[in-house]
Amino acid sequence: MVKEKPKVDILLHEITPKHKILTKEETEELLKKYSIKLLNLPRIFSDDPVVEMIGARYGDVIKIIRKSDTTVKEVESYRFVMKGKRVR
């Protein structure tokens, strides 16, 4: 049986953190800021539901803004989109 895609916009759910695709310039700036290579970033699968929703592709960098578990602040994090297990 083929599973149909759920017709829910997960981005609207309250516990989904904000996701944003970085532009090339922003990515470069980020790498320069931390003086790292692209692959030193934490990774996320390209077939992750959120990644598919916002339309990010392999090689993109995603910025995630989420509520902190330990502090009151919102925290920024970045993910490098790697190829998912499900080949698209």
Among 22, 26, 45, 54, binds other proteins (CB under 8 A): 54
Which of residues 44 and 56 has its CB atom nearest to other proteins in the complex? 56
- The CB-of-77 to other proteins minimum distance in angstroms stands at 6
Say which residues have a Cβ less than 8 Å from residue 16's Cβ, sequence separation at least 6: 10, 50
Among 27, 41, 44, 61, binds other proteins (CB under 8 A): 41
Which of residues 22 and 54 has its CB atom nearest to other proteins in the complex? 54
Q: Using CB under 8 A, count the residues that bind other proteins.
A: 28
Question: Is 65 a binder of other proteins (CB under 8 A)?
Answer: no
- DSSP-derived 3-state class of residue 65: strand
- The CB-of-13 to other proteins minimum distance in angstroms stands at 11
The single-letter code of the amino acid at 37 is K
